[in-house]
Amino acid sequence: MTAPQDPSQDDAHGKAEQTVGSPKGPGQDPSEDVLRAGHPVTPVSAGVGEPSTDHDRSDSAKTANETGNLGGAPLAPSPGAVTAPAHEPRAGSDMFGATFGGDTSGFGGLVRQQPAALSSPRPYGGWFDETVDALQEAYPGFGEAITRVIVDRGELTLHVLPGRVAEVCQVLRDSQNHRFELLSSVSGVDYIDQPDRFHVVYHLTSMTYRRRIRLETAVPLDNAHVASVTRVYPTADFHERETWDMFGIVFDGHPGLTRILMPDDWQGHPQRKDYPLGGVPVEYKGAQIPPPDERRAYA
Amino acid sequence: MTTTSGSERVGGPVEPAEPADVYAAGERETTEGKIYTVTGGDWDQLLADSEGDQRMVVNLGPQHPSTHGVLRLVIELEGETVTQARTVIGYLHTGIEKNLEYRNWVQGVTFVTRMDYLSPIFQETAYCLAVEKLLGVEVPERATVIRVLTMELTRISSHLVGLATGGMELGALTAMTNGFRERELVLDVLELITGLRMNHAYVRPGGVAQDLPPGTEDRVRELVATLRERFGAIDDLLTGQPIWQKRLQGVAHLDLQGCIALGVTGPMLRSAGLAWDLRKVEPYCGYETYDFEVPTEDTADGWGRFRVRVREMHESLKIIEQAIDRLQPGPVMVEDTKIAWPAQLSIGSDGMGQSLEHVKRIMGTSMEALIHHFKLVTEGFRVPAGQVYVAIESPRGELGMHVVSDGGTRPFRVHVRDPSFVNLQSVPATCEGGLLSDTIAAVATIDPVMGGVDR
């Protein structure tokens, strides 16, 4: 949603059909458009193209007014669904996305809680408060380094500034009240709609207390640098090499940041959302099935 | 290791005329671009090269019967002592994580099952537990018991292959034939349950794909009895055997601190003395209600890992028996028709197909059911936005699934923390300073599966 969409995709649909390399907008099928028009998508800020079809016009104009953007100016990237500002619960559509009539299941009446974008309110519950308090005590830079504390689905996530990850890990590993001895996993996530699109996610395990915690940090495309944690956790070596390989995130201080899964001379970073999956169409019983990334996506 | 300039050599690379580097491949220009010709050299010429310098770099793999799959080891040798060992991986990279982002949540199962191809049920279960945690659904009791049953069967078959290939790499070919023979017995039962020997795609978000076929309980009990007896042969053949002991004892030592620093989990960690088994310390699938031990050793070497694996198989048999005893009739998929796969498959006259009753219902009486069938199969269900990390104890250690959803019908991102991938980092620590032959033993006892390493 950072760039203006294909003109065939009006804004209300841009969100739904945000698939890399998908040449087909949903507007191809009129009946589908009728179904989807008026879908209460959370404010979408895709570049507002000309309304493509008549029955869509009112809808897209409305959305454009709401978001205060007219005339197809490219907008600031909106938070993606994952981090939509969310304390207010959102009335959901039914489980399949139908929004008017039709739904006799009652699911349309459900109110869904969006995941939190701001810090979760205290108390977090369980051992989370204790752990966060102890970190605040043990780590003087807590105030500026930890930007958000999120509790979701029984998991604790600390959002950390990219340059401070190693420090925070050091404290979490060594302080008596934490003892996160094991770095289980490092992975990247590409939230392509956000300004800081690359998130690096660390899963730490405390074998002493049998607890898990997640650290998350976000960096933009043009300055994708994160402090390496290999000095604190030697196991991060392969993990960070993989994340570099797949996302192009540079881990400052890593002893040998080279590709690990892709060949050394590979161009590009395959797990980025704007890197196409590739594939060839296949024939099945006389019908041509397009490659996976060109198949229709229902979002 | 470059040649001195001006030395006249015979039998070097074909072209060009005077290569600066004896290892450089010959090259020539063609209309298609530059073509490299890699040829062998003479051994004495290679040795002449390293005269006065006993160090030699050897590439072991990626096509080598002793490296446990397409693992490439770059080893620097001084005499027969390994001074440096580096692993090169990626030869089996198939982009499974990327592919998952283009399929719906249920289809994801068929991909993750192909990662660590020796323990497919574990990836399936971990993935499904993660999806279920995102959905916030609870799986019926019977489905959970079936998951435990199939997981423990898979653990046995995986350890058997670990022993078999490990034995083969150390020259114990009977260990290999026996191991694969026993494994096939287990796979037969898994085939009975899931329909496939490997790559089952049996565990699905919300439960399992199919109920157990009639007669499974008896088959499993028979299998347990057979395996109990056959496991004795492992002790007869290997445990008491002096050669096997000497090949493993004191070899590939990695102590507890080293294991934790390098993120090593599973039998390797337990062989260093820490009883860290996620089935006990972070129980999932009701493992806390089963009666079993976590075997540990304190030798921290290849021998300890071998012993841990053998004893774990005995413990798995115990769990399987308990699981069989606990099977109660009931559903194997969540009741929620917005998630549950709509049909039970049954074998039709063409050897495959839907259950006729189901087809009759959706075509004849219930339009809602037809719509649900269509929507679930074509676009799949939506999963609320958020991220979770679920870890389970696979035969090789902590298998973690970091699953992110943006609220759509496809995973936004799935990252798999594969234990083989992480454990392979211990190769330099366990091999350097030892003999070349011990490197083979070290890799064998780490027991990496390259399908999981490279994903």
Percentage of chain B surpassing pLDDT 90?
40
Phi, psi angle pair for A203, to nearest 5°: -115, 115
A-chain residue closest to B455, CA distance: A261
Render pLDDT for A223-267 as a digit per residue (tens, 0 to 9). Answer: 899 999 999 999 999 999 999 999 999 999 999 899 999 988 888
Q: What is the pLDDT of residue B169?
A: 86
- Average pLDDT rounded to a whole number, residues B335-352: 72
Out of A134-138, A218-222, B188-192, least confident range: A134-138
Q: Cβ distance A215 to A196 under 8 Å?
A: no
Q: What is the pLDDT of residue A64?
A: 36
Render pLDDT for B36-50 as a digit per residue (tens, 0 to 9). Answer: 776 666 777 666 666
Tell me which residue of A174, A207, A10 sits closest to B391, measured CA to CA: A207
Domain final position from A61, A78, A95: A78
The count of structural domains within chain A is 2
Q: Is residue A123 part of a domain?
A: no
Please report the domains of chain B, with CATH numbers, ordered by start residue: 1-52 (no CATH), 96-339+381-454 (1.10.645.10)
Tell me which residue of B373, B205, B131, B406 sits closest to A19, measured CA to CA: B406
Q: What is the pLDDT of residue B241?
A: 85
Render pLDDT for A198-221 as a digit per residue (tens, 0 to 9). Answer: 999 999 999 999 999 999 999 999
Task: List A residues 111-150 in contact with B (Cβ-Cβ < 8 A).
Answer: 112, 114-115
Mean model confidence pLDDT for chain B: 85
Confidence label for B13 from pLDDT (cuts 50, 70 and 90): very low
Q: What is the pLDDT of residue A217?
A: 93
Question: Could you tell me if A3 lies within 8 Å of chain B, comparing CB atoms?
Answer: no
Residue B286 CB partners (closer than 8 Å, separation 6+): B144, B145, B148
Q: Is residue A285 part of a domain?
A: no
Out of A233-237, A275-279, B7-11, least confident range: B7-11
Domain final position from A252, A269, A291: A252
Find chain B residues with C-beta within 8 A of A183's C-beta: 263
Find chain A residues with C-beta within 8 A of B380's C-beta: 298
Q: What is the CATH number of the domain that holds A232?
A: 3.30.460.80
Q: What is the pLDDT of residue B417?
A: 93
C-alpha to C-alpha distance for B46 and B60, rounded to whole angstroms: 17
Q: Are residues A69 and A134 in the same domain?
A: no
Confidence label for B20 from pLDDT (cuts 50, 70 and 90): low
- Average pLDDT rounded to a whole number, residues B161-172: 88
Q: Cβ distance B281 to A210 under 8 Å?
A: yes
Q: Are residues A53 and A140 in the same domain?
A: no
Q: Cβ distance A47 to A162 under 8 Å?
A: no
Q: Are residues A71 and A147 in the same domain?
A: no
- B389·A185 Cβ contact <8 A: yes
The yes-or-no verdict on residue B7 having pLDDT over 50 is no
Q: Is residue A118 part of a domain?
A: no
Out of A51-60, A117-126, B218-227, least confident range: A51-60
Among the partner residues A187, A259, A277, nearest to B98 by beta-carbon distance: A277
Q: Are residues A150 and A231 in the same domain?
A: yes
Residue type present at position B328: Q
Confidence label for A119 from pLDDT (cuts 50, 70 and 90): confident
Residue numbers of the domain that contains A25: 1-78
Q: Is residue A38 part of a domain?
A: yes
Q: Min CA distance, A147 vs chain B (Å)?
A: 18
Find chain B residues with C-beta within 8 A of A84's C-beta: 385
Candidates A19, A39, A95, A231, partner chain B, best to mutate (most B CBs within 10 A): A95
- B385·A297 Cβ contact <8 A: no
Q: What is the pLDDT of residue A176?
A: 87
Domain final position from A252, A269, A287: A252
Render pLDDT for B123-156 as a digit per residue (tens, 0 to 9). Answer: 999 999 999 999 989 999 999 999 999 999 999 9
B-chain residue closest to A81, CA distance: B406
Q: Is residue A270 part of a domain?
A: no
Q: Is residue A239 part of a domain?
A: yes
Question: Could you tell me if A254 lies within 8 Å of chain B, comparing CB atoms?
Answer: no
CB pairs under 8 A between A and B: 145
Q: Which is more confidently placed, B254 or B341?
A: B254
Q: Is residue A223 part of a domain?
A: yes
Q: Is residue A4 part of a domain?
A: yes
- A82·B421 Cβ contact <8 A: no
Q: What is the pLDDT of residue B387?
A: 92
Q: Are residues A236 and A144 in the same domain?
A: yes
Phi, psi angle pair for B282, to nearest 5°: -135, 70
Among the partner residues B134, B402, B412, nearest to A201 by beta-carbon distance: B402
Q: pTM of whole model > 0.80? A: no
Q: What is the pLDDT of residue B52?
A: 64
- B263·A104 Cβ contact <8 A: no
